[in-house]
Amino acid sequence: MEPNWRAVSEIIRRHSSTFYYGSLLFRGEARKGAWAVYAACRTGDDAVDESPNPLADLNKWWAGIERAYTGMPREGWEIALAWALQRWDIPKQAFADMKEGFQTDLNPVRLETVQELYAYCYRVAGTVGLMIAPISGSVEAGREAATKLGQAMQLTNCLRDVGEDLALGRVYLPTELMHKHGVTLEDLRQGSIGPRYVGLMRELAAEARGLYREGLAGLKHLKTGRGAVALAALQYQGILNKLEQSGWDNLSRRASLSGLERVLLLPRAIWLRDA
């Protein structure tokens, strides 16, 4: 059954302009494969964040993943994923790891260590890199690069959305780093952005930038879709830069890029693709 690609791409366009614009640099079937993967991931994320009964809907999502992998899809996104699975060896374990990350968000979140933050970023976003890597025809080094970029983008999300996540009972800032910089939960609740908080943000931003450097350096190991992956990563890097320019004011507002700012990143993405 041919998927309804217009409906699948609309899921992406509606939820993530960053990924949608990046996906346009994939060509032919690879673009549809990227859409299929992202639509499946987005549906799981929505089951956690937009449902009145997230555990039940997360289980329904996983049942859909299972159906796609057994060749018996029902929903539109499942049909698209099953279509992609006929063409590429997309690891089911990556979806299982992602489910574990989604389960973390079912309850109030409090991460203790940087290692726990890295693990979370891998589960909910690094896994996307593992899913996209076969579509890009990558070798092991390419899978590692795609995973690191996924982690970098999720870490950027965590830094961008501190205030929004706090309102949902989620604190992704590691307790050990908060203690190191003398930042408390009460500081976050009061929206206090002082030198100690800025120091915490800078340390985590440095972690993200290191992941971006490693990931972008590994783009050469992808056989196709390098420009698409680069453009998505550059857009998230741009959000990180916007955060820094705002003085790390992420407790009361959300950093974002304008349409023009996204377009201006295109030449660099193409340069990275051809480098």
Helix/strand/coil (H/E/C) assignment for every residue in the chain: CCCCHHHHHHHHHHHCHHHHHHHCCCCHHHHHHHHHHHHHHHHHHHHHHCCCCHHHHHHHHHHHHHHHHCCCCCCHHHHHHHHHHCCCCCCHHHHHHHHHHHHHCCCCEECCCHHHHHHHHHHHHHHHHHHHHHHCCCCHHHHHHHHHHHHHHHHHHHHHCHHHHHHCCEECCCHHHHHHHCCCHHHHHCCCCCHHHHHHHHHHHHHHHHHHHHHHHCHHHCCCCHHHHHHHHHHHHHHHHHHHHCCCCCCCCCCCCCHHHHHHCHHHHHHHHHC
> In this predicted structure, what is the pLDDT of residue 274?
75
- Domain extent, residue 131, equals 5-274
Model confidence band, residue 235 (pLDDT cutoffs 50, 70, 90): very high
Q: What single letter denotes the amino acid at residue 86? A: Q
59 or 28: which carries more pLDDT confidence?
59
CA atoms lying within 13 Å on the CB side of residue 224: 16
Of the given ranges (103-107, 178-182, 267-271), which has the lowest mean pLDDT?
Answer: 267-271
Query: Using N-to-C axis directions, what is the helix angle for 92-104 and 28-49, rounded to 10°?
Result: 30
Tell me the whole-structure pTM to 2 decimals.
0.93
pLDDT interval class at 96 (50, 70, 90): very high
Q: Is the pLDDT of residue 18 over 80?
A: no
Distance, in Å, from the CA atom of 209 to the CA atom of 206, rounded to the nearest integer, reads 5
Count of structural domains, the chain = 1
pLDDT tens digits, one per residue of 131-180: 999 999 877 888 899 999 999 999 999 999 999 999 999 999 999 999 99
Whole-number Å distance between alpha carbons of 200 and 130: 29
**Distance, CA of 265 to CA of 232 (rounded, Å):** 10
Give pLDDT, residue 221. Answer: 87
Q: What average pLDDT score do residues 84-108 get?
A: 97
- Using CA atoms, how far apart are residues 86 and 134, in angstroms rounded to an integer? 12
pLDDT band at 9 (very low <50, low <70, confident <90, very high): confident
> In the structure encoding, which two tokens stand for residue 189, read together?
């609740």
Tokens of residue 215, six digits: 């990931």
Mean pLDDT of 115-138: 95
Per-residue pLDDT band for 118 (boundaries 50, 70, 90) equals very high
- For 207-228, the pLDDT digits (tens) are 999 999 999 999 888 888 888 8
pLDDT for position 183: 97
CB burial class (10 A; 0-12, 13-18, 19+) of residue 147? buried
Q: Which has the higher per-residue pLDDT, 241 or 21?
A: 241
What gap in Å lies between CA 87 and CA 22, rounded to an integer?
21
pLDDT of residue 259: 86
CATH number at residue 160: 1.10.600.10
